[in-house]
Amino acid sequence: MRKDKDIILKLRSQGKSYKEIQNSTGISKGTLSGWLSRHRWSQETAIRLNKKHSLHNTVRIIYLNKIRGQKLARLYEQGDIEAKEEFARLKYHPLFITGLALYWGEGDRVSKYGVLLSNTDPAMIKLFRNFLIQVCHVKKDRLFAGVFLYPDLDGETCRKYWSKEAGLSGVKFHKDVELIGRHKHRRLKYGVCKVGCTSRYLKRKMLLWLKLFPQEILTEKYYEDAGVV
């Protein structure tokens, strides 16, 4: 046993960690801790190893973030190219143009990831839902909805209404959000509904489409090419 301790003390004095010593000797970390933790110089070794490990992890995280950032930059660059190509191909597609017009007027532009639209008209909500699924190819199970309600409205009743009238059956509803209105009698019977998905990639494409949209729609050439002039 003394020989084992001598070997362990030597390895520890060389700056080896408990794991490295265990791998070399087969002695458990619990036993090593019992033998070594009482030695101040061993505790100082542990502190140096922790700092070294922490520094290594920090460097590794910085490196991984850099690599991930480069990959994301390439991905978003490809997404921008894809968005321009899709706009050129779909700019006369009724659902594409209508979906963009709705988002231009009612859509969320603040969040980085949310592609969301809120409205009181179930037909508008249903149209935007179709735009996301049929044009943007968002899978239905990635869609979510939510309802903004006044305190006197029943959440379950309103969710059933929007599910039926806006074609949101099977779409997951987030927790209801309470509305506080100024007028006691001018209330929305079923509140306000939002529908959308979370995608940084699609959000970036959507914002680029919105830049291209007025540039195209406000030109005479657009209507000439469409044969409506």
Cβ atoms of 79 and 205 closer than 8 Å = yes
Give the pLDDT score at 26: 66
10-residue mean pLDDT series, the chain (229 residues): 60 67 68 60 60 60 62 74 92 95 94 94 97 95 94 91 95 90 66 94 93 92 81
Give the pLDDT score at 1: 47
Give the pLDDT score at 178: 87
Residues near 123 by beta carbon (within 8 Å), at least 6 away in sequence: 166
Q: Return the SS3 of 114.
A: strand
